[in-house]
Amino acid sequence: MKKKKAKAVKKGPKKAKLRTKISKPLAWLEKYLMRVHRRMPTMVMPRTIRSFVPNPAKKHRTLGNCCIEDKSITLATHTHKVVYKGGRKKRVLVPLSHLEILQTFAHELSHLAYENHDYEQEWYGRTIFHTFGLTESCPHCSGKGVIPARYENT
């Protein structure tokens, strides 16, 4: 009686798992965080990424916050806009674009490595942002071409 040979099972490379807890409104950030983790394996990764929506009654000056001891990052998903309606001012919440959130995310990730706002922190934030691989439409050719997105350290 002939024995059947066991079929060889192909095993691919092991996927790195994130230990970062990400809030549901920012769940789409996981793809970009994995990309950064693959390209920059020695980078300090955050433990938690939280989102917040600012209170419309209060002034809102920051888009993100970073706690170095807890390794947690808090990102805003909305910002204020002043609308004049019936001769009165009213603050309205406007959602931030993914590009603005990713710029803030890169900025706060760079603060985990460099605490102060200096050229090293700005360079590191720009490097992280460019690993995201984002593009914008070209302003010179009427939006037909694409160029890499610009990082603005705010």
In a domain, 40, yes or no: yes
Give the pLDDT band (50/70/90) at residue 32.
very high
Name the nearest CA neighbour of 73 among 102, 37, 39: 102
47-78: buried (b, 16+ CB within 10 Å) or exposed (e) per residue? eebebeebeeeeebeebbebeeeeebbbbbbb
- Within-domain flag for 3: no
Note the pLDDT tens digit of each residue in 58-73.
Answer: 887 888 999 999 999 9
CATH number of the domain where residue 74 is located: 3.30.2010
Residue 73 lies in a domain: yes
Task: Domain of residue 137: give its range.
Answer: 21-148
What does the mean pLDDT of the chain come to?
Answer: 86
Residue-level pLDDT at 10: 65
Average of per-residue pLDDT across 17-25: 88
> How many domains is the chain partitioned into structurally?
1
Over the stretch 78-104, which tens digit does the pLDDT of each residue have?
A: 998 889 988 898 888 999 999 999 999
In a domain, 108, yes or no: yes
What's the rounded mean pLDDT across residues 38-55?
Answer: 91
